Amino acid sequence: METKINSKALKAEALRLGFSACGIAPAEPIDQAHQNALKMWLDADRQAGMTYMANHFDKRCDPALLVEGTRCVVSVALNYYPATRIPDEEYQFAWYAYGKDYHDLMREKLATLFRFIQESDVPELNGRMFCDTAPVPERYWAWRAGLGWIGKNTQLIIPHAGSTFFLGELFLNTEADTYDRPQPNRCGRCNRCLQACPTKALETPYSLNAHRCLSYLTIENKSEIPDSIAPFMGNRVYGCDECQKACPWNRFATPCRTPELQPSPEFMNMKKEDWKQLSEEKYRALFKGSAVKRAKYSGLIRNIRQMED
């Protein structure tokens, strides 16, 4: 008889490792409604310069095509809600970027979780781990694995916990003894996230136009920020959390206690004048091992200079 993954033991270990939530789903192709929505979003060019979003569509929609032999998907979430925030009058960075690069931390924890399953249950276990590093629809799998639902702001919302979570997955070649069920959408009639978006990038519920999104424009975007958008930047020089701040479910958010995700005093003490005089050497020291490096020094300076225009 084939050995199945002990889902109860797996989830207990995930929580012990510091993950905030863990669920398991069978590795089936994503449902047709989500496939259609993704295709419509891509066809409408809502991904802006993130052309990689259109790559490997078939693999994005079927875990067994991405990783041959995949039979179950383990989805985990890690809280990053900040215990302290940059003062409102200073330049603002997205909360997720306050600490060290989440990719490294999530990979480390996922690797430990994988070894636990392998050593305790399934010696012949094989698979791969992901955290924003492959064509994996992470929010879909988190929903499918019962962690929460995808809100109107396109973020995964975990009931009584909010949306400030990093997501990661294990694609495994073995079935689990039990699977979790998707949760119902609980956004109801609330549209606060759409109303709060400074640039109206959330054009309709569940659909984000990256051409107008400050997170995309200040991080992924390699060009100049459009003149039509720049006046709405406010103090935001890296990312934007307005749709999360407006979400009523985030009133349940609890401060992150993961040491690696805590901001350094040097980062938190930076003032506007310090940012305006930021050298590349200082940038490298300040953001060593940080996700902020995705915008590169030139991108961050572009955003800071936009504040002065």
Give catalytic residue positions: 132
For residue 194, the Cα-to-chain-centroid distance in whole angstroms is 19
Which ranges of the chain would DSSP assign to H, the alpha helix?
Answer: 7-16, 32-43, 57-61, 63-66, 102-120, 138-144, 192-196, 214-215, 242-246, 265-268, 272-276, 280-286, 296-308
User: Are the C-beta atoms of residues 233 and 86 closer than 8 Å to each other?
Assistant: no
3 state DSSP class of 96: helix
- The backbone region for 86, taken as left when phi is positive above 0, alpha when psi lies in -120 to 50, beta otherwise, is beta
Distance CA 94, CA 214 (A): 10
Determine the length of the chain. Answer: 309
DSSP state of 23: E
3 state DSSP class of 183: coil
Pairing, β 92-93 against β 236-238: parallel
Q: Closest Cα to residue 117, out of 64, 67, 175?
A: 175
Using the structure block, give the residue that is written with the tokens 């033991």: 9
Phi, psi of 72 (to 5 degrees): -150, 155
Per-residue tokens: 90: 């200073």
Q: What share of the chain is helix, strand, coil (3-state, %, to 5)?
A: 40, 15, 45
